[in-house]
Amino acid sequence: MNVKKFTAATSRDALRKVREALGPDAVILSNRPVDGIVEILALANDDVASMASPSAESGMDAPRPSLQHLEPVHAAPVAPAMAPAPQSYANRRAPQPQQSQTEPAFDMAAMTSMMTAAIAQAKDSAASEMSGMMSEIRAMRGQMETQLAELSWGATQQREPQKATMLRDLLAAGFSITLARYLVDKMPAGKDSAEAMRWVKTVLARNLTTMADEDEMLNKGGVFALVGPTGVGKTTTTAKLAARCVMRHGPEKLALITTDAYRIGGHEQLRIYGKILGVMVHSVKDEADLRIALKELRNKHTVLIDTVGVSQRDQMVTQQVAMLSETGADVKRLLCLNATSTNETLNEVVRAYQGSGLAGCIMTKLDEAASIGNVLDVVIRQKLNLYYISTGQRVPEDLHLADRAMLVDRAFRSGRAAGSELTDADLPLLMAGMNRNKQGEVSLG
Ligand SMILES: Nc1nc2c(ncn2[C@@H]2O[C@H](COP(=O)(O)OP(=O)(O)OP(=O)(O)O)[C@@H](O)[C@H]2O)c(=O)[nH]1
Ligand SMILES: [Mg+2]
């Protein structure tokens, strides 16, 4: 193999020299400016061809650097357009030429490209190592937080066992971990279990807002819409409320509206109740209809709107909220909360139906609920005004005013929810888990 060096003032001149000496098929090994002139290292095409069978020329022991490392033409700062004819590039892919010991520039080029490749590889592996380390650190941090929380709860259990008992009772009653923990954290130390229970019940009852005065509500009247997911008892509760209004003011002062115009027989249920009570039932199908109906009925003392049930996960909820808010009348929305639903579902329901603000809520199906801490929790934390509770299907008997102390008492009497199977050993774990996926904040008075 015979690597030759050519120098000239310009690349064009240097290439011309290469062509003259080695022919048009010469292979350019490097092309770079050196001290203001251009230096080209080139190989005759015949030499490259002979390298295809290196043993014939240089023997088996000769070192064979890969030709890929010897491709400085593109890397060189001189324009590649100046390189020779394309067929010669193909030849540069011929396997393993012998390295010339007499040409130091040859080694430099190989070294440079090897170093560039090595640096790029090192950068890649450093980046992936770093991200691996970061996720390990995160995992370790999570574990440490969990263990610290476990330890801290373990210590609390030892130091103040009545706090742990109280926590278990709250969870057993169906209250959320967030609220249970908040209460236990705030509970003054040194109470025995009876005192602790009294304290918790007092705080819960104090933070449960109920309709201040039914007489005032019934006497004042207005437009009320019962809203909520499907089957929670809106129509039944509307009928119960209608009966209460009729008993107070007679049937003429009341009007009933149903927005259930498209389900087969949708409005029939309310119509039957209306017939029994002697109250007209109006059926509306859209916002325009509702506007007209409310305008016509503006002389009524009370108007009750029974809405069609919409899942809290349905986009229709937003439309319904808008429909009721833009009627021109002051429509107070009362959300029916099914006491048998889970805490998470009820929170979702409130969020979906909140809109620009709910006037209040009605707890339904309390008779069917195994524990009622879940629904009390939502009413307390979302600071909803609890108008009534519904305890059965009978119209009008099964609708009652909400008695705060009675409801809180009942929560602890019947409470056999998820927390009921918890043991002392489970509590630290539960608290630690909660630490990691922090739920909504609580603020009670
Ligand atoms: N046990 C019990 N059942 C109730 C209560 N309230 C309503 N129901 C029953 O629940 C079922 C559904 O009640 P509806 O009043 O039709 O419910 P809705 O919210 O109007 O339902 P949709 O209009 O379909 O969304 C009926 O069988 C009611 O009798 C209650 O407080 N306790
Ligand atoms: Mg209904």
Percent of the chain surpassing pLDDT 90: 49
The neighbour count for residue 82, using CB atoms within 10 Å, is 17
Mean pLDDT of the region 123-149 = 85
Any atom of ligand 1 within 6 Å of the Cβ of 235: yes
Any atom of ligand 1 within 6 Å of the Cβ of 338: no
Dist. CA 337 → ligand 1 center (Å): 11
Any atom of ligand 1 within 6 Å of the Cβ of 402: no
Rounded Cα gap, residues 184 and 153, in angstroms: 11
**Range with lowest mean pLDDT among 65-79, 251-265, 304-318, 413-427:** 65-79
Q: Name the pLDDT band for 157 (thresholds 50, 70, 90).
A: confident
Interval 39-90: pLDDT, tens: 998 888 887 666 544 444 444 443 443 333 344 334 344 334 344 444 444 4
Among 316, 349, 393, say which to mutate for ligand 1: greatest number of ligand atoms within 8 Å of CB.
393
| Model pLDDT, residue 80 | 40
Specify the residue with its C-alpha closest to ligand 1, atom 15: 233
Q: Which tokens hold the place of 80?
A: 């590649």
The neighbour count for residue 69, using CB atoms within 10 Å, is 17
Any atom of ligand 1 within 6 Å of the Cβ of 154: no
Q: Which tokens hold the place of 244?
A: 């209460």
Does position 433 have pLDDT exceeding 70, yes or no?
Answer: no
Q: Name the pLDDT band for 416 (thresholds 50, 70, 90).
A: low
Percent of the chain surpassing pLDDT 70: 81
Interval 9-39: pLDDT, tens: 998 999 999 999 998 888 888 888 888 899 9
Q: Which of 96, 92, 94 is nearest to 64 (CA)?
A: 96
User: How many CA within 13 A on the CB side of residue 86?
Assistant: 0
Does position 187 have pLDDT exceeding 90, yes or no?
Answer: yes
For residue 157, the one-letter residue type is Q
Interval 383-392: pLDDT, tens: 999 999 999 9
| Model pLDDT, residue 262 | 73
Is-contact 83 21, C-beta < 8 A?
A: no
For residue 354, the one-letter residue type is Q
Does position 198 have pLDDT exceeding 90, yes or no?
Answer: yes
Torsion of CA 329, 330, 332, 333, to 10 degrees: 50
Mean pLDDT of the region 222-229 = 97
Dist. CA 234 → ligand 1 center (Å): 6
Q: Report in angstroms the alpha-carbon separations of 269 from 236, 238, 279, 308, 323.
A: 9, 11, 13, 12, 22
Give residues whose Cβ lies within 5 Å of ion ligand 2: 234-235
User: Residue 67, SS3?
Assistant: helix
Q: Name the pLDDT band for 427 (thresholds 50, 70, 90).
A: confident
Is-contact 422 430, C-beta < 8 A?
A: yes
Mean pLDDT of the region 278-298 = 94
* Ligand 1 nearest atom to the CA of residue 269, by list position: 16
Highest mean pLDDT among 38-42, 96-100, 438-442: 38-42
Among 226, 236, 366, say which to mutate for ligand 1: greatest number of ligand atoms within 8 Å of CB.
236
Q: Name the pLDDT band for 344 (thresholds 50, 70, 90).
A: very high
Average of per-residue pLDDT values in the chain? 83
Q: Which tokens hold the place of 238?
A: 């509307």
Among 227, 235, 349, 389, say which to mutate for ligand 1: greatest number of ligand atoms within 8 Å of CB.
235
The DSSP string of 371-418 is --HHHHHHHHHTT-EEEEEE-SS-TTTTEEE--HHHHHHHHHHH--SG
Does position 263 have pLDDT exceeding 50, yes or no?
Answer: yes
How many residues belong to the chain? 445
Any atom of ligand 1 within 6 Å of the Cβ of 236: yes
Rounded Cα gap, residues 372 and 366, in angstroms: 7
Question: Sign of dihedral through CA atoms 432, 437, 438, 440?
Answer: negative
Does position 170 have pLDDT exceeding 70, yes or no?
Answer: yes
Does position 238 have pLDDT exceeding 60, yes or no?
Answer: yes
Q: Which of 35, 30, 39, 34 is nearest to 11 (CA)?
A: 39
Q: Would you call 274 exposed, middle or buried from its count of C-beta atoms within 10 A (0-12, 13-18, 19+)?
A: buried
Residues β-bridged to residue 30? 41
Q: Which tokens hold the place of 352?
A: 């979906």
